[in-house]
Structure 1
Amino acid sequence: MCRRRRTAALLATALLAAGLAGCSGGAEPAWREAAPPQAPKATTPAPRVPAGSAPSESFAVGVRQLKLNRDGDRPLPVTIWYPARGTAGGTPQRSATAATGRFPVVMFSHGLNGRPDDYELLLTRWAAAGFVVAAPAFPHTARGTDTNVLDVLNQPADVSYALTRVLALDAKAGDPLRGRLATDRVAAAGHSAGGVTTIGLFTAGRDDRLDAGVVFAGTCLGVGTAFAGAAAPQLFVHGKADEVVDYASGKAAYDKVPWPKAMLSLPKGDHGRALLTDGAALRVVSDTCVEFLRWTLYGDAAAKRRLPDEATRGGVATLDDRL
């Protein structure tokens, strides 16, 4: 058996055994206590974007769909949430007029048997903070498909393709997002199998356009830990009671990251249902991610200083800060 097939077989066995088909939905997790870890900080300079300030206001949120297809046989419908004109705090408005400004782009990858809209509570909070969030539905791992776990290995290329098409909207005549995208400020994020996809975008499938990554309940299985290219800060988020991807697996991947990094650990968190349900855990995770993205994509040093307080607010999570 060749190396790639052997890797794919191991990935399928491990992910199926772990039950990644249950990445989305369910009740709130049980809770238990844990002490915060301590670790030295990284010394690699970051972020690579120029210093600046993120928007201080909260935006209304618009939503639209982009129908893509890579190589003619990989349909990739993309949901895009973006800052919009109007009153902040309401539900996302379809095809709303984009807010004035240029906004960084975050590519989000869903978990196995999930869909982009499963994560709307989280991703609209990012959009309201001043980010354009684009989330493809993958052709073989989204809910309603054949749920082929091996296809996770093809998803980093899907994300890169979708990113190219999304960034092209900034120069497309007549497009509602024309002139609204900060095309040189891009991050990738993903949950579970989407976390594997995200790690892959910084290892075997390195996309040099990416300035930062956010990995929820992810593992390096199948995509490796050969992190490559320019330093791209990483934020890992993982529940210590994760019943699908063991916390130790996520921590092992995190430990291999050679760049500035932080790990937000939820002592009572499971595989990620807090990402799908409004509550204290979602708010802490979302606000921590927002500060991380403000720092890495807007160059906002004040956001980096606020991040530890947001991460540890209310005792919901602990932070290993090596940023």
Structure 2
Amino acid sequence: MSDPNTLTARPSAATPSTVISARPVVLPAPGRGTDLQVRVTAPATGGDLPVIVFSHGFGGSMNDYAPLADHWAAEGFVVLQPTHLDSRTLALPPEDPRTPRIWRWRIEDLVRVLDGLDVLAAAVPGLGGRLDRGRVAVAGHSWGAQSASALLGARVLDDGGVPGEDLSDPRVTAGVLLALTGLGDDLTPFAAEHFPFMRPSFATMTRPALIVAGDHDQSLLSTRGPDWFTDPYTCSPGNKSLLTLFGAEHSLGGINGYEAAATLDESPARVALIQHLTTAYLRSAFDPGDTTWKSAATALAHTPAPLGTLQNK
């Protein structure tokens, strides 16, 4: 793990851990129209490995977010990345009858991954029997963060402002929500018309979560500024943390992929900070006696010219 006193630099690669990966691992998905493809990335050794189920952003796939998946696996986590129906790799046409319900298919994909842990582990040589089912987190970026938030207790409001179905999953311990959009009251007319599922309520999102927002993330879907992305922290109860990254836009410095063309605010140091802090957060979320997160937060607060700031509640 990188030195918490050098949070503005890349983690040391002096003793890299060996990571193994398999893709696609296919989970049968009756009624979905397309079986679910998943990428599994895991440390080559070790047992009782905690699990992160990661949901990609709009148009992405299991092949994206390698800077996060590779790092987490090297730090001892098993990372499971499903490819959702909105992925460009599947090229689902807008007129497809599944399109209006993709937001629900996304959540069901994450549940299907949790249901298929044995199948996914067996697909990677030597991984079977090494997962710790008692330590499971969900994570996601952008639309993927919204999908993941549902398993933590967030709900979607209907036209009358009534919260929809509770889709939380008791198997999930904590979450990491990257660039999660805010309340639906602040959608542009276009977004309100075309994305009715973007009306979240965070009032029941009670599970512990780290929310990561960029202070330069100006969404074309919102009438508000970058503070829109802090709503999941402000409007949710319970144990939450907010990492606000200075100068970060929607890709948060380049978490989408190595040399990703979609990254307009490329910052290896910012990505390294996210890698470090998300790892520390999950370690302590899984083990209340672990002081990694407290140490990392303290180090960031005392770092000259820090790349971001932390709030906790």
**Does the CA contact (< 8 Å) of 2:214 and 2:252 recur in 1?**
no
Helix, strand or coil for the counterpart of 2:201?
Answer: coil
Counterpart position of 1:79: 39
Alignment match of 1:163 (pick from 111, 114, 119): 114
What is the distance in 1 between the residues matched to 2:106 and 2:72?
Answer: 22
Helix, strand or coil for the counterpart of 2:64?
Answer: helix
List per-residue Cα deviations over 1:133-191 (Å, max 9, x = no partner): 00001123444422767412321111011111025556x69963221000111000000
- For structure 1, which runs of at least 5 residues remain unmatched after alignment? 1-56, 85-98
**Does the CA contact (< 8 Å) of 2:175 and 2:209 recur in 1?**
yes
Counterpart position of 2:143: 193
Counterpart position of 2:191: none
- Equivalent runs, 1:3-42 vs 2, <5 Å: none
Helix, strand or coil for the counterpart of 2:200?
Answer: coil
List per-residue Cα deviations over 1:47-67 (Å, max 9, x = no partner): xxxxxxxxxx96311101211
Counterpart position of 1:224: 200
Counterpart position of 1:208: 170
| Structure 1 residue 297: Cα displacement | 2.0
- Equivalent runs, 1:102-113 vs 2, <5 Å: 102-113=48-59
Change beyond 3 A, Cα 1:227–1:68: farther
What is the distance in 2 between the residues matched to 1:190 and 1:311?
Answer: 23
**Does residue 1:234 correspond to 2:209, yes or no?**
yes
**Does the CA contact (< 8 Å) of 2:245 and 2:307 recur in 1?**
yes
What is the distance in 1 between the residues matched to 2:232 and 2:54?
Answer: 19
Q: What amino acid maps onto 1:266 in structure 2?
A: L
| Structure 1 residue 241: Cα displacement | 0.9
Counterpart position of 1:60: 18
Helix, strand or coil for the counterpart of 1:70?
Answer: coil
What is the distance in 1 between the residues matched to 2:238 and 2:130?
Answer: 29
Q: CA RMSD for the aligned pairs? A: 2.6
Counterpart position of 1:35: none
Counterpart position of 1:9: none
Task: Number of aligned residue pairs: give it.
Answer: 250
**Does residue 1:180 correspond to 2:156, yes or no?**
no
What is the distance in 2 between the residues matched to 1:310 and 1:165?
Answer: 38
Normalising by structure 2, we get a TM-score of 0.72
What is the distance in 2 between the residues matched to 1:174 and 1:155?
Answer: 24
Counterpart position of 2:264: none
**Does residue 1:127 correspond to 2:118, yes or no?**
no
Change beyond 3 A, Cα 1:129–1:108: same
**Does residue 1:318 correspond to 2:277, yes or no?**
no
| Structure 1 residue 309: Cα displacement | 3.8
**Does the CA contact (< 8 Å) of 1:112 and 1:143 recur in 2?**
no
Counterpart position of 1:284: 273
**Does the CA contact (< 8 Å) of 2:21 and 2:124 recur in 1?**
no
Normalising by structure 1, we get a TM-score of 0.70
Helix, strand or coil for the counterpart of 1:117?
Answer: coil
- Sequence identity (%): 26
What is the distance in 2 between the residues matched to 1:308 and 1:174?
Answer: 35
What is the distance in 2 between the residues matched to 1:140 and 1:290?
Answer: 28
What is the distance in 2 between the residues matched to 1:181 and 1:306?
Answer: 27
